[in-house]
Each structure stands twice: as C-alpha cells, then as structure tokens.
Amino acid sequence: MSVLPAGISTMRGGRIRPRATAIDERGASGRPSSRLATARETLLRAGLRVTQPRLQVLAAFLEAGQTVLSADQVMRALLDQGNDISLSSVYSALRQLDAAKLLSSRFEEGRRVYARAGALPQATVRVVCEACGTERTFHNDSLDVLLSRLVGGQGFALGDYEVLVRGVCANGCAHAAEARGPDAE
C-alpha cells in the first residue's frame, strides 16, 4: 500500500486528483468577498454543508440585480465570473437551496425559475404583453380579499399565489396594433 503526499487523493480507477481543500472566499482583489461570506453564513444557518456549487449559486443570487433567474442565467453569471461549474451542479445546487427554503422556485413560460426566498411578495399579479414582452408585477389587496372568499367557499385557506395575465400594451407598444388585428381600430 503506497502513501500519497499530503493534499493528494485517488479516485475510482486509480486516477490521482488534488484533495478537496477549504473553499476560498477571496474575491478577485484578494480580499475576502462579503458576498461569499454572507452566502457561507446563510448556508451554515440553514444547516447545509458549504460546498463550492451551493456557495457559488447562492452568492450569484445575492449579487444579482434581477430577482428571478433561470438555471441557464445562473450558469452564465457564474461562467462570466470565472467560476468553473457544470450545469448539472447548478441544477443540483438550485434544487437543494430550494428544498432548504433559501430560494423559491416556480414555472414561468415553460421553464423553472428561481428567486431568493422572500425577494418577491408571495402574492403577485403579473401582466405580460404578448406583442413586446413588457412585464409588470404588482400586489393587489382587493384581489387578496376576493381570492380568499373564492377559495374559502371551496373549503381552502388562501396561501401563496401568482396570477399571470396575458394581454397587449394599451399605449406605447409599437406591436400593439399588429397584435390586436386590423379590425381593432
């Protein structure tokens, strides 16, 4: 039996690879990254082991200006930052962070998207223009009351909800007249 030097371990099939070390939390400047430190603390508070994919994915959400990202958008952001991570690792980390309630997910336009937990109101109304793609998200208290009555009448209590309304911009959309058709005028 041979003894390997410190920092080296073997994989199945006898291939040699470096032994996993502590995750480097230094940014490009060489100083500790507050975004990574915050992500690390969040993972530990949630009872998750800190792994490179979980840390990178959670940090991407902490730094993202957008509140909702797809797995592909997370992957692009990580690659742009110089992180070497596979798409399957991104999906796996997203599922684990969603299960730990650090992220929330939903289906949107045929794909699953993720947001930081609590980043969006749990009750939202989204209006999307089918012609130009303009989107508005808002909360409506009177809709809460109406939906509470409707679901209460069916024996349920109102929980989280999202209402998606598709339409065409009333004013200012260059494609609105085309989408309404020639008889709309």
Rounded Cα–Cα distance for residues 95 and 121 (Å) = 21
Structure tokens at 38: 């915050």
Is pLDDT above 50 for 175?
A: yes
| Domain 31-116 top-level CATH class | mainly alpha
Q: Which one is predicted more confidently, 121 or 145?
A: 145
The terminus-to-terminus CA distance of the chain in angstroms comes to 85
For 4, 67, 114, the CA distances from 103, given in Å and listed in that order, are 40, 11, 6
Rounded average pLDDT over 37-53: 90
Give residue limits of the domains in the chain: 31-116, 123-184
Reduced to 3 states (helix: H, G, I; strand: E, B; else coil), residue 98 is helix
Is pLDDT above 50 for 165?
A: yes
Distance of CA 65 to the CA centre of its chain: 12
Instruction: Give the pairing of strands 8-10 and 16-18.
Output: antiparallel
| Domain 123-184 top-level CATH class | alpha beta
The reply to whether the predicted model has a pTM over 0.85 is no
Residue 71's pLDDT is: 92
Is pLDDT above 60 for 26?
A: no
Is pLDDT above 60 for 53?
A: yes
Q: Which of 49-53, 130-134, 137-141, 168-172 has the highest mean pLDDT?
A: 49-53
Tens of pLDDT, residue by residue over 78-131, are 999 888 899 999 999 999 999 998 888 877 777 888 888 765 446 778 888 888
Is pLDDT above 50 for 155?
A: yes
Q: What percent of the chain has pLDDT over 70?
A: 71
Is pLDDT above 60 for 11?
A: no
Contact 57, 64 (CB under 8 A): no
Residue 27's pLDDT is: 46
